[in-house]
Amino acid sequence: MGKNVYSSEVKWAVVKGKLSGQLTTKEIMEKHGIKNESQIQTWMRWYRANKLYRFDQPIGKQYTYGHGPESASKEEKRDRQIANLKMENEIIKKYLEMEKELRKK
């Protein structure tokens, strides 16, 4: 049994799914082919701790100094950060819409 390797896109999709609250953990696991719930918990812990650089690290390469592989340019890091901020904005907007709907009731 080897280790599963998940792309950064899958990791971000899982985090987005968990934060939106639209899918259960089991549904997310089935949708993305994740075998263990603890993997999702790890990604959520990284997200909450603002360790966003870890989503792009290859397995076994948990860089701490410089926050990522040396090959990542400043532009790539900036683009990744912008994409993450856009995702956060989408999630906040959805949350505010849901809260507004609940207050109407």
pLDDT digits (tens, 9 = 90+) for 45-63: 998 888 887 887 766 666 5
Between 22 and 28, name the one with better pLDDT. 28
Q: Is the sign of the CA dihedral 94, 97, 103, 105 positive or negative?
A: negative
Between 71 and 52, name the one with better pLDDT. 52
pTM for the whole thing? 0.59
b (16+ CB within 10 A) / e for 13-47: bbbbbbbeeeeeeeebbeebebeeeebbeebeebb
